[in-house]
Chain A
């Protein structure tokens, strides 16, 4: 379980996150919505234990993340907004998370093939990852995260700038991990996507979480006017 208690963060003298309280239960699929610059990526980097430079308390399954980020990172993986590729082939990219966990070669080969198949990029296995198209890279990035067995998967706009075909494939892969009762946190500018995938939605504005609720509630009868405006696209 993820428990954020009064999390705040500043860059220089700009406050980017303000008193964030958030609880994400195991097996929950949470979509974080909000305008560009609302602080979604910043929050995800904290949740994924990559950024411990914040004030407030963050407990992951009871572990104090600030004190034990390395331990927590073993249970969480995040797909970044911009798909960065390691030098090397698609296979090497996707195998990385298994390699650092010390799995044997045979297992890695099978598991990577399976995931590549799921994302429809098996044929790219031996291709240079840096030379793929944007959509292909995005799929490699998703595969690279899904290949490892963790408790929480975080996706920062996994389908922005992608065409329907790519979106379908990636959402299909997400559905797959949902079925395994994993916790999923996703940010998206695509409201339909949030509605399709999420069980819970949080709406962020200017570094604050304005409202959290069941997906249908947030879309049908949000409590806060700001949320209402956002989900209805009114200004």
Chain B
């Protein structure tokens, strides 16, 4: 029966998850670390950029916005390729020794999600009622205090942008494959295998239980985060 194949795979996968398979957990934690670091960097760099663009009014602002918007849709393999050209030993940034490292993946994912953070932040900042700015100023705030208030008013949007960015990072394959290389040695310290590269590998190897188990985990992470987003949005509207 054709269905047996899937059902057996699923059962095997669920067993792996329930037993808390060490390799599974190892990959999951690495994935969270790698994409978490990428998200932190993207936040540290992207939020100020988004706030700045959102608050200011200059010539070329719309062009800048459309560049960031266009970058939202960049195919991850292409980004991986470009980054590879830079990070390869012969490339201009080869001396950084980031190729086939988790830091390299984080860097690539950071570039991937930076436009998400910038665009979202910018849009939420621009969405803050125009009167809020004037209100802070007329109540005696200086420019910095005004900006802080506007960011406060847009803070939910900024948090959502971070969650969305993390989800995009942890689910991408192109950068992780090309820059990370899916290295895994038991007990090794230089491993770069993450959820997506592992799924791809187990499928090609025909180890369908492991692949399904990792897929379920990846979906669970994404789903949990989107539940959290919804919850926060609801709380925000009510508060």
- Closest A residue, CB atoms, query B129: A84
A96 to B138, CA, bound (A): 11
Q: Is A87 part of the contact surface with B, judged by Cβ < 8 Å?
A: yes
**Contact, CB under 8 Å: A77 / B138:** yes
**Bound complex: CA A128 to CA B238 (Å):** 10
B39-47, B145-153, B166-174: which lies at the A interface?
A: B145-153
Asked if A80 contacts B140 (CB within 8 A), the reply is: no
- In the assembled complex, the CB of B207 is this many whole angstroms from the nearest CB of chain A, namely 51
- With beta carbons under 8 angstroms apart, the residue of B129, B140, B153 that contacts A73 is B140
Partner of A77, one of B139, B145, B149: B139
Q: Are A70 and B142 in contact (CB under 8 A)?
A: yes
Size category, B interface: 10 to 19
A-B contact count (CB 8 A): 51
Chain A 85-99 against B: per-residue CB contact (8 Å), 1 yes, 0 no?
011000000001100
The reply to whether the CB of B8 lies closer than 8 angstroms to some CB of chain A is no
Q: Indicate which residue in A74, A76, A80, A100 contacts B136 across the interface (CB closer than 8 Å).
A: A100
Residues of A within 8 A of B219 (CB): none
Complex CA distance for A87 and B154, rounded to whole angstroms: 10
B224 at the interface (CB under 8 A from A): no
**Interface status of A148 (Cβ within 8 A of chain B):** yes
Closest 6 CB pairs of A and B: A97-B139, A84-B131, A100-B141, A78-B138, A100-B145, A50-B134
Which B residues contact A (CB, under 8 angstroms)? Answer: 129, 131-132, 134-143, 145, 149, 152-153, 239
Q: Give 22 pairs: A residue, B residue, CB < 8 Å, sorted on A.
A: A48-B138, A50-B134, A70-B142, A70-B143, A73-B137, A73-B138, A73-B140, A80-B134, A80-B135, A84-B129, A84-B131, A84-B135, A86-B132, A87-B152, A96-B139, A96-B149, A100-B136, A100-B142, A101-B140, A144-B139, A148-B139, A150-B140
